[in-house]
Structure 1
Amino acid sequence: MSNQKTSDILISEVGPRDRLQSVSTTMPTAHKKQWIRDLAAAGLREIEVGSFVSHKLLPQMADTGEIVAFARTLPGVFVTALAPNLHGAQDAFQAGVQKITIPVSVSEPHSLANVNKTHAQMFEQVRQIIACRNAHYPAVLVEAGLSTVFGCTIQGVVEEDDVLRMAHTMAELGVDEVGLADTVGYATPLQVHRLFTRLKHDLGELAGSAHFHNTRGQGLANVLTALDAGVTTFDASLGGIGGCPYAPGASGNIVTEDLVYLLESMGLRTGVSIEKLLVARETLKQGLPNEPLYGFIPDAGVGKNFHYAGEKA
């Protein structure tokens, strides 16, 4: 986990990965670098800059190695990337990432659709990735990002006990963090509070981030209840787009701009400037001119009574 000394809540910006993998347009590398530069300038201190996957399947991610190298030059930015298998993890390690997230689906049908692996095969991949990290890249963090934890559009219901069993397996395999993702936007506040409370109880400091989608309008409500359960790291995407190409109906990450407004208005420091996020949003618009952007704050503004946490009212 990256440094949170100047903030109460860490916002991990996942747009350069989750957003760009969900659209058919490929953003030019130079423009992607400018976008990430603007995100960093806005105060975002953890950025998931891409994924190390097959270029044939996701050509939008073909330049991830170059993007990692660029992002590592930005002061104060903790650079993360997604890696679904050993080959991708090795590429990520060599590129210089500071953390990788391994997507591990609790729903086996989704695992087969997303990474073409059974649970047993995925466990072996995690085992090999941890062994490679331990032997050659000990400073790099490894997160298991558990997906479809609140339900799956392919399997249907996903039992909470199955989620906890998967989390324990990941901890036993040696990951540094276990995050929970609402891949298809099924989560409700009661589910979120109950499951994160159990995760914190079982795994302690290994219990990691919350990754919510706003597919059914529950994203920020889920943030509030996750906060109450002790979560301090939240994934979000500038402009609010994102989704899994292999999960039918998955769409809509929570909007970074709206999340910052919510947290700061509650007196929780994020270290992120909404005004500078809007600059990054314009860069994003230019890079993907035909893609819709979402969010209330960019249209409505913050209002005259708004002030950042720590500022005098």
Structure 2
Amino acid sequence: MSNPSVLVEAYDPSVYWAAPAKNFRSSTRLHLQHMLWQNTTKFLLEPHVQASFKQDKQLKIADLGCGNGVWLADLHHELSRKHRSLQLNGYDINEVNFPPPAFLPGSITLTKLDVLSKMLPEEALSTFDVVHIRAFSSIIINNNTMTLLSTALAMLKPGGWLQWEEWGTDFIVEPASPGLSTVSCEKIARIVKAGGDAQGLQVDFVRELDRRLNDTGFKQVHVREDTKRKQDYKGWTEDFLMIWEEVASFFPSKADDPQAPVTKELWAQLFANAVEETEHGVALHRGSILTVIGRKPL
């Protein structure tokens, strides 16, 4: 295993995240991830954003990469209790995780759309008071945030807010006590990072999102960082294990490519060993969540 970091199959986020095979398992992970995210940040709309709107104003809000719509559903629950008039629109390249419209509040509409296509429907332009983005670090290639930021800017009304929430940049393998083995978790983390780097999935942009918002033309840019709670480490660990399990699709089988540095069979064994380490008390997490907001000029 001279070079275990090579991912044989090219990563295409527009295809990978649209794969029907990721149906209920990925949706389950998104529910878990949302709960953990809210435990960390304690808000749906960042406080500066929420405080900027008058109580009687109808809010039109878009969620890009909405997944199964769980953020929008929680937002509807929170804001409708305050008697807000709402129009909530979710957009995602993959509609397989959308709940049936009959199970959603009337204020929520979910639409299949590639938000990086540069071809936005006319009705989405200059329409929204808030555009929300969460966890796009597996979508952004070569740190190129320009298309997504331009999309958000085009969708916002003058004076509207972008709220972009992202994982922290440091991946942490943390044993609950000294002496616990972290060998397999560390090895998988290295393989995933090296493979991601090879496919252009660096996350350097996260720590400079505020500058990038300023450069794109946003005003009143503000960044905050929230540290994860230790009581949530088990949940974050399980969330990452589900992601690692999905990564197996990138490797060839030993029968198809006996010389491949990482095969499905090798990955399965590494993954099983990593799961065993977590069952003994090893946590997988990113230490914090960063939220950056910015306002479209009036």
Common fold, TM-score beyond 0.5?
A: no
Higher relative contact order at CA 8 Å, sep ≥6: structure 1 or structure 2? 2
In our comparison, the structure showing a higher alpha carbon Rg is 2
Q: Which has the higher strand share?
A: 2
